[in-house]
Chain A
Amino acid sequence: MTAGLRPQVVTSRFGMPESWTLRAYLQSDGYKGLRKALTMSPEEVHKATLDSSILGRGGAGFDAGRKWGMLRKAEPVYLVVNGDESEPATFKDHALIEADPHQLIEGALICAYAIHAARVFIYIRGEMALGLERVQAALNEAYEYGAVGADIFGSGFSVDIVVHPGAGAYICGDETALLESLEGKRGFPRIKPPNYPAAIGVYGAPTVVNNVETLSNLAFIMRNGSEAFHALGEGASRGTKVMALSGHVRRPGNYELVFADTTFRDLIFDPALGGGLRDDRELKFFIPGGASAPWFGPEHLDVPLANEKIAEAGSMAGSGAVTVMDVTACPVRSAWRLSRFFHRESCGQCTPCREGSGWVDKVMRRLEDGNGRESDLDLLMDICDNISPGVHWPPAQTTICPLGPSIPSSVAWGIRMFRDDFLEHVRLGHCPFPPDRLRTSLAHA
């Protein structure tokens, strides 16, 4: 068996017929974790979460139990589930939401119980229409079943859950922007300090924001105990991680792997996982943790899939999105496309991000078009430096949220790793990679 594939903590119901229904859920240990939790005190549930040392799966990798412990002592307290997944090449929450909405609801209830939440809001990316339908349908079932609402399973604990749709803005994945959005406003991230959600969250109340995958782990932890969870992985990275693999691999998809059991090489080449590169081409580079992550080359293939190992190697695990490029991929075009993403998704508050992202996009586009100059590389590096001084990893931040400092990653590491490819564009006056001409649609970029 391929290393890291067992046990399945959050994807165990994937592929099960109608896995999203209460019937299927109850047939596979559904709501047992919640029932167990309700026999414990909220403090004990919190303790178990701390003991499991589960890190947040939304990107920042903050210890969930510790986060709950940081809540300002005030009432009411809210739990907000971050299901806004929009990070390029990240598609694991989408799958968890559609395939196993009850698992998410159960996890949210366990958390709500532990933190004495007055209400739970599940914020789901608006574009995920089916996901919204599945979660709302599951929630309706769960209410009827007595798992949500007043006096849950006769325990005396009551809490309501509200499903809240987003409306299309990547920045609302940032927890403070998400809270603004939940309050019916433009998704402007809030300044931290002082607006840490645990202190000043939604409606000014102390709030826990956790990612869908993070919460989806809780039923397992409750059912099997924190030791069982903690036994998986090593160091700070415990349990499993759903890796979203995309790009030039034979078998793109979500793979749930035990932390630290496998390496990027396994993920990309194992026949049970990525299955190697398409057409057996050579690997050129890969992005280990989403659009903001510095790029890795073939020399990083043996880095283990564990948050701190990836950080040591100079990038980040992020939300677990790995995108693979073979030798036919143009690094300039890839970097441009990611710059364009940040340009389109910048909320517009901070000058360096609002203006810098557009500038980088335009210069990168010119380079990809073959209209660049050699001096553009220095210019780009200096623009990046003005957005995130030093252009190092982890990045320095001069903006309100981390989107700004994410802009330089692809551009700067692209230039650092593939300077020759950049210069080749300048020399040739067009892109040296197939297809070598810009598609008409790019004119509308």
Chain B
Amino acid sequence: MPHLTEDNLERARSLVALYPDKRSALIPILHLVQEQDGYVSPEGIHDAAELLGLTPAEVRGTASFYDMFHLEPVGKYVVAVCTNIACMLAGAYELLEHIEESLGTHPGGTTDDGAFTLEDAECLALCGNAPCVTVNWRYFGDMTPERWDSLAEDLRAGRLEGEVPPHGTLCRVRRSVGLVASGGAGAPASPVTAIDVTTSRTTPAAQSTVLPEGGGGS
């Protein structure tokens, strides 16, 4: 019995169809598993192995290479604090220390209430807004201890549900068309559940790092 829901199984199959070689769908499928279960669960690993003709050892071996895949359950919010060079110069370690204290856990740990898992991340590519933090891979730049405190409060209070989806949810926009160029059917790839990305409120890197006023103009 597959562990993936019928919808997700269908999505997984349409992912497989996008590639000349089915193993290519492994990472997208693992993201799907993580979206469903919040982490890369053993059951999900077995489903992926079954779908792609791999052994569970291979699937786990590949998943464990990648930082985004959590092989153990994590908190509701995975908070990644960048401490790489640009953020470090902007006080990332002091920020991290503050977050550690406020959450009462260290990188790699999860708060007792299961709300937060803290991670000490490598460069997240938002160095123009250092220091930066992601929560379930939604970016928050120009972070300060104070801004963190209010962000944590908003998160705990569920005020950012739309903006910060549950851990594991990566791309909320689904592909709306299958392969057509080589004469494929061109049918919708899977149910289109496009969210309106235009209203997404997380700090878009492009907006905040775009040439500052005057910078790009005249």
Contact surface of A with B, Cβ cutoff 8 Å:
1, 5, 8, 11, 14-15, 18-21, 76, 85-91, 93-100, 118-119, 125-134, 136-137, 139-140, 143-144, 149-150, 158-160, 162-170, 181-187, 203, 244-248, 251-256, 272-273, 287, 291, 321, 323, 325, 329, 333-334, 337-338, 341, 344-345, 347, 435, 439-445
10 contacts between A and B (CB under 8 A): A99-B207, A126-B31, A133-B172, A143-B177, A149-B181, A162-B18, A162-B175, A181-B27, A187-B66, A329-B89
CB distance from A295 to the nearest CB of B (A): 11
Q: Mark B186-218, 1 if CB is under 8 A from A, else 0.
A: 100000101101101010111101111011101
- A99-B85 contact given A143-B176, A186-B61, A246-B128, CB 8 Å threshold: no
- Complex contact A272–B194 (CB within 8 A): no
- The A contact surface, by secondary structure, is mixed
- Complex contact B84–A88 (CB within 8 A): yes
- Complex contact A137–B85 (CB within 8 A): no
List CB contacts (< 8 Å) of B44-66 with chain A: 52, 61-63, 65-66
B residues in contact with A168, CB < 8 Å: 66-69
- Complex contact B122–A126 (CB within 8 A): no
CB of B174 closer than 8 Å to a CB of A: yes
- Complex contact B19–A11 (CB within 8 A): no
Cross-chain contact of B26 among A1, A159, A184 (Cβ < 8 A) = A184
Please, how many angstroms separate the alpha-carbon atoms of A5 and B180 in the complex?
A: 41
Please, how many angstroms separate the alpha-carbon atoms of A150 and B143 in the complex?
A: 45
B125, B127, B128, B139 — most chain A CB neighbours (10 Å): B125
B residues in contact with A20, CB < 8 Å: 197-198, 206
Please, how many angstroms separate the alpha-carbon atoms of A97 and B204 in the complex?
A: 10
Please, how many angstroms separate the alpha-carbon atoms of A137 and B193 in the complex?
A: 11
Cross-chain contact of B211 among A14, A96, A167, A323 (Cβ < 8 A) = A14
CB distance from B208 to the nearest CB of A (A): 8
- Complex contact A126–B170 (CB within 8 A): yes
Q: Mark B92-113, 1 if CB is under 8 A from A, else 0.
A: 0110110010000011100000
Cross-chain contact of B138 among A86, A130, A254, A442 (Cβ < 8 A) = A130
A residues in contact with B23, CB < 8 Å: 183-185
A residues in contact with B170, CB < 8 Å: 126, 129, 132, 165
CB of B148 closer than 8 Å to a CB of A: no
- A337-B31 contact given A184-B52, A441-B120, CB 8 Å threshold: no
- Complex contact B181–A160 (CB within 8 A): yes
- Complex contact B125–A94 (CB within 8 A): yes
CB distance from B145 to the nearest CB of A (A): 13
A residues in contact with B186, CB < 8 Å: 149-150
- Complex contact B66–A167 (CB within 8 A): yes
- A99-B210 contact given A89-B86, A168-B66, CB 8 Å threshold: yes
B residues in contact with A94, CB < 8 Å: 125-126, 205-206, 209
